[in-house]
Amino acid sequence: MIVDDEPNILMSLEYAFKKKAFQVYVARDGTEALEIADEYFPDVVLLDIMMPHLDGYETLKRLRANKKLSHTKVVFLSAKSKEADLKKGLELGVDSYETKPFSIKRIIAKVEDLIS
């Protein structure tokens, strides 16, 4: 699942992952992401931090608190690149942290590595 409030990022990642034959769900904020995750149980969530309604940190907390989703791998994709942001993500249980701008090939390789 790809969670980001930026339409261009959603479209480009969705296209790239579908081209690689991944099943893809997209959400525009954390609230929508939690609803989709609770229904479809994604293996990996690519999660932006700065979003309206429910940010990535709170979304991650709620994913980790849900026993049905505890196996889900989460990769932060964020423009926030300070050490404190990385530390907070790791403390909350993020599996990987990638900063924007990012390489789509690198993100696909990261997801493939997480699910193998």
Average pLDDT for 50-58: 94
- Specify whether the CB–CB gap between 114 and 103 falls below 8 A: no
* Two structure tokens written together for 68: 């049905």
pLDDT of residue 93 exceeding 90, the answer is yes
| Sign of the alpha-carbon torsion through 61, 11, 86, 110 | positive
User: What pLDDT, on a 0 to 100 scale, did the predictor assign at position 70?
Assistant: 86
pLDDT reported for residue 81: 85
Domain boundaries, the chain: 2-111
Residue type, 90: L
- Mean pLDDT across 75-102: 93
As a whole number, mean pLDDT of residues 63-80 equals 94
Fold classified for 2-111: Rossmann fold (3.40.50)
Element (H, E) at 3: strand 2-3
**Which phi and psi angles does 76 have, rounded to 5°?**
-75, 130
**Mean pLDDT on 5-30:** 97
Residue 5: exposure state from Cβ atoms within 10 A (0-12, 13-18, ≥19): middle
